[in-house]
Amino acid sequence: MRERAVRAIALCRRIAELSEEPGRTTRRYLTVPTRDVHDLLRARMETLGMSVHVDAVGNLRGLWQPAHSIGKRLLIGSHIDTVPNAGAFDGVLGVTLALEWVAIAQQLNLPLDLEVIAFSEEEGVRFNVPYIGSRAVAGRFDPALLELKDKEGITVEAAIRDFGLDPARIYEAVLDDSTIGYIEPHIEQGPVLEAEGLQVAAVTVIVGQTRMSITFTGHANHAGTTPMNLRHDALTGASEFVIAVEDLARRSDGLLATVGKIENEPNVGNVVPGCSRVSLDVRHAFDTDRRAAVADLLAKAEAIASRRGLSVTSRQLSDQPAAPMDERLTAFLAEAIEAAGFPIKRMTSGAGHDAMVLAVRVPTAMLFVRSPGGISHHPSESVLVEDIEASLLVAQKFLQRLAAEVR
């Protein structure tokens, strides 16, 4: 497995060089380097004896059907688009590992059909909407998406045509009826496995997420002439809220709550701030807990504003429910982790993934691999070869178990 791990990592590193920008990895949906990635992956797929095509939304798909196929297909993969100035492993690793999963299945002579998918769009960078590739595969592609424009004014539809594809055939991208599940291997993108000294984990649920914008309004005043007791300082109100958000999340099991963005007006050193707007990002595996936390925080914002003579308004930007992974497939993954000789670790995913979209259509599971330093979306994103090897030992056990179940 060490050799397979080294090969999967090397392929990720090579793909990272296929970029829109010299010296940095940036690969948005259907931009020129996407084709180079397809060419590279297609060659590997064909070497493995797979039949390959690019569907109408730009996903590269390779199918392995063994001679003794029983007509049960497992979909394996992740995305190949990236954030700007990305690392080499987010998304791409799931695809290069999927190729090794195929090789393992072939070696074991398993009767499963295996479809490797390199989703074309997950990050939402080019068109500000994520999961374009997986929406099509899940049969949830809204044709209105075709009208979205990138910052050069190019629509999704034009981008698809420019890539030599036919947007009228996107409906054909939907997954095959024989598909019994989707597995997405992915780097954790966080520090939990490292902190616990673990290499791999089975994901139980992709947490739900609420995003809001909250605005505190007071009165801008001269910082030298306005006594403390006559101020209506919007920034002190917003600051108290930032602390309240952190405090609630620290006290609430499984709750993540973050103020990542603040905009302050007039934002001048000698003026008491008149308006401060903060973002709020709340995530939890249980939607009821998440919504209760949001309600609690909005009440706290009101209380802070009221006490300080400020007004407060809030706007919900998104409300994404939690996406539980399939219990049976996830149990198989956990058993495979144990069978491969590692401690069973189940964890939530705080980030969204293609698996979240696929999960509403087909039994879905995710296998996390440790992220050194918890670093992701950054050029220093990395993986350890022994962790990749561990994930492939798990893959072997999982595929054996699944084949035995469905045979």
- Rule CB under 8 A: say whether 110 interacts with its own copies: no
Q: Could you tell me which residues are beta bridge partners of residue 211?
A: 281, 318
Please state the closest distance from residue 266 (CB atom) to its own copies, in A: 8
- Residue 292 tokens read as 């209760």
Select 192 or 388, whichever has its Cβ closest to its own copies: 192
Q: Site for its own copies (CB under 8 A): which residue of 96, 199, 204, 209?
A: 209
Task: Say whether residue 180 binds its own copies (CB under 8 A).
Answer: no
Question: Phi, psi (5° rounding) for residue 18?
Answer: -90, 95
Strands 179-187 and 271-272: unpaired
Rounded to whole angstroms, the Cα distance separating 282 from 210 reads: 5
Pick 5 or 220: Cβ nearer its own copies: 220
Among 235, 275, 301, 394, binds its own copies (CB under 8 A): 235
Q: Are 300 and 244 in contact (CB under 8 A)?
A: yes
63 or 255, CB closer to its own copies?
Answer: 255
Determine if 259 is a binding residue for its own copies (CB under 8 A). yes
Please select the residue that binds its own copies; options are 52, 146, 174, 256, rule is CB under 8 A: 256
Using left for φ > 0, alpha for ψ between -120 and 50, and beta otherwise, residue 267 falls in left
Instruction: Please give the size of the binding site for its own copies, defined by CB under 8 A.
Output: 59
The one-letter code for the residue type at 219 is H
In the window 327-356, what residues touch its own copies (CB under 8 A)? 349-352
In this structure, what is the dihedral angle of CA atoms 396, 387, 342, 185, given to the nearest 10 degrees? Answer: -50
Choice between 40 and 242, CB closer to its own copies: 242
Q: Does 226 bind its own copies (CB under 8 A)?
A: yes
The residue (of 241 and 398) whose beta carbon lies closer to its own copies is 241
Output 277 or 397, the one with its CB closest to its own copies: 277
SS3 annotation, 327-369: HHHHHHHHHHHHHCCCCCCEEEECCCCHHHHHCCCCCEEEEEE
**Residue 149 CB, nearest distance to its own copies (Å)?**
21
Query: Is residue 87 close enough to count as binding its own copies by CB under 8 A?
Result: no
| Residue 225 is a binding residue for its own copies (CB under 8 A) | yes
* Distance between CA atoms of residues 209 and 348, nearest Å: 13
Task: Enumerate residues 373-402 that contact its own copies by CB under 8 A.
Answer: 374, 376-377
Instruction: Decide: is 233 part of the binding site for its own copies (CB under 8 A).
Output: yes
If we measure between CA atoms, which residue out of 322, 314, 184 comes closest to residue 256?
322
Phi, psi dihedrals of residue 215, rounded to the nearest 5°: -120, 120
Question: Which of these segments, 19-27, 141-149, 254-262, 329-337, binds its own copies (CB under 8 A)?
Answer: 254-262
CA 234, 240, 243 angle in degrees (round to 5)? 140
207 touching its own copies, by CB under 8 A:
yes
Query: Shortest Cβ distance from residue 245 to its own copies (Å)?
Result: 8
- Please tell me whether residue 270 binds its own copies under the rule CB under 8 A: yes
DSSP 24: B
- Interaction between residue 151 and its own copies (CB under 8 A): no
What whole-number distance in Å separates Cα of residue 135 and Cα of residue 363? 15
Label residue 31 left, alpha or beta by phi (over 0 means left) and psi (-120 to 50 means alpha). Answer: beta
- Minimum distance, C-beta of residue 356 to its own copies, in the bound complex (Å): 11
User: Which of 138, 127, 33, 148 has the alpha carbon at shortest distance from 80?
Assistant: 33
- Assess contact for 234 and 217: CB atoms under 8 A: yes
* CB 273, min distance to its own copies, A: 6
Distance of closest approach, residue 323 Cβ to its own copies, in angstroms: 13
* Beta strands at 73-79 and 179-187: parallel, antiparallel or unpaired: parallel
Out of 281, 326, 354, 387, the only residue in the binding site for its own copies (CB under 8 A) is: 281
Q: Does 26 participate in binding its own copies (rule CB under 8 A)? A: no
Q: Which of 265, 192, 209, 200 is nearest to 235 (CA)?
A: 265
The reply to whether 56 sits near its own copies by the rule CB under 8 A is: no
Residues that bind its own copies in the complex, under the rule CB under 8 A: 188-192, 195, 207, 209, 211, 221-230, 233, 235-236, 238-240, 242-243, 246, 249-250, 255-262, 264, 266-273, 279-281, 283, 317, 349-352, 374, 376-377
